[in-house]
Structure 1
Amino acid sequence: MNPNDEVVLLNKRIMELEKQLDNLRLSRRVLMDLLEQLEKDKKILNQKLEQKTKQLQRYRKHGNGKQNGIQEFELLEFKNYMRE
């Protein structure tokens, strides 16, 4: 193998590696965007659950939570909400 062929081969390899690097950078950006979106969704879901918990606590407070029917209703409502 002559030196010119070796240089051409090495240049080709460098170009391939640079292309791979660009692809990895793009993949990283996509993954980071997905992660950010998941965090936002998690935060929104957490807020909804906190609101629902406060609602259920209000029901319990106003409906005298010791009544068995109200407690069962709260539990069913919360389970249905979680399925959504």
Structure 2
Amino acid sequence: MSDSGAQRSDPIAVGSRVKVIPTSGSRSDDTEPQVGVVVEDYAKSVIDNSDLGRDWAPVLRWAIALDDGRLVFAADGGLEPA
């Protein structure tokens, strides 16, 4: 029996250079993608918002250290390889 998750090739991982794509719900004034390095993957901590009973303050999967020194968090769809 094989674990299909172990065979999946994810281009984004800790240490990857990525572009963080600004979203409409972002609290930042950034309108352009920001570049940085993934420093942590919180995949095991992500909880479906419906399980929380609220839709605010969602748990985001990725922590990214931007090249300008800021630390930001992004969901799966908010990153692309740089």
TM-score normalized by structure 2?
0.25
- Looking at CA atoms only, which structure, 1 or 2, has the larger radius of gyration? 1
Higher helix share: 1
TM-score normalized by structure 1?
0.25
